[in-house]
Amino acid sequence: MNPSPLIDHAPLRVTIWNEFVHEKQNPEVQKLYPRGIHGALAERLAGPGLALRTATLEEPEHGLSAEVLRQTDVLLWWGHAAHEQVSDEVVRRVQERVWEGMGLLALHSAHRSKIFRALSGTSGKLHWREAAERERLWTIDPAHPIARGLPETFVLPVEEMYGEPFMIAGDAHVVFLSWFEGGEVFRSGFTFQRGHGRVFYFRPGHEAYPTYENPHVLQVLRNAIHWAAPILSAPYPKTHRPESLEPIEEKAGTYGKAGIVTP
Ligand code: ZN
């Protein structure tokens, strides 16, 4: 048996995917994100140890060809208005890569994206209100790697409200909790694993507010990229194992391949 090969390359290869719709249709969003949310994140998350690239819905294969995904350790996903325009084939491809070990960060309204719902196994439904209200985030698992360097609590002066109940997977591990000016609470940052891949959902990031300028929000994303990085350098190539590790004693009767005794 070969030991599992551990990932040994640096820098981490990060692809930031954005549907890039609001920025082209809404002048206020365009002012906030002249190069798109993906462009802003690529600029603001840039730093040692990370090789960032971007991809958008309008590119061939949404910029997520098999080759790009093979070269991606962690994928960030921002989508809202065009979830249904994402091709099922690309969604399946991303899902396969997560199962193989690629990390996925689902941002803000990605809770209703095809890929988040496929991986979570839930609808991702929630309550929402767009009223420029104050959001207070609480770091409720300060020992988690994604919470490294974050304060116990921090405030975003204006955000969209997302409220509970939030239809998420039962195995979600909550790292951040939000309280909103209007009274609602929300599980704003949580992790789960599917196959070998780690998934992190992070709520803040409404397109009409300057959330991705907030240093705490950027710190969460930076931490999450490192946390979600693959542990293994390659997927397990073989599933059929004809040679046994221990001798297998002969049984009476004739067994077919499915283990069924034939008379
Ligand atoms: Zn939003």
Residue 81 Cα, ligand 1 centroid: separation in angstroms?
A: 10
CATH number at residue 139: 3.40.50.880
Q: Is 244 inside any structural domain?
A: no
Q: pTM for this one?
A: 0.93
Query: Would 258 be classed as within a structural domain?
Result: no
The Å distance, Cα 244 to ligand 1 centre, comes to 53
Any idea how long the chain is? 263
Whether 246 is covered by a domain: the verdict is no
Residue 55 falls within a domain, yes or no? Answer: yes
Answer whether residue 232 shows pLDDT above 90: no
Instruction: Find the 30 Cα to ligand 1 centroid distance in Å.
Output: 15
Query: Is 254 within the bounds of a domain?
Result: no
Give the CB-side neighbour count of residue 29, counting CA atoms within 13 A. 14
9-27: per-residue pLDDT in tens? 789 999 999 999 999 999 9
Full residue range of the structural domain in which residue 151 is found:
12-238
Q: In angstroms, what is the span from residue 130 Cα to ligand 1's centroid?
A: 8
Does any domain span residue 131?
A: yes
- Our count of domains for the chain comes to 1
Mean pLDDT of the chain: 94
Q: Examine residue 245 and state whether it is found in any structural domain, yes or no.
A: no
How far is residue 197's CA from residue 161's CA, in Å, rounded to a whole number? 29
Question: CA 76, 165, 117, 7 torsion: positive or negative?
Answer: positive
Q: How far is the CA of 189 from the centre of ligand 1 (A)?
A: 15
Q: Residue 34 pairs with which residues in a beta bridge?
A: none
Bridge partner residues of 127 (DSSP): 163
Q: How far is the CA of 36 from the centre of ligand 1 (A)?
A: 15
Rounded CA separation 210/218 (Å): 12
Cα(240) to centroid of ligand 1, in Å?
45
Domain contains 5 = no
CA 47–ligand 1 middle distance (angstroms)? 27
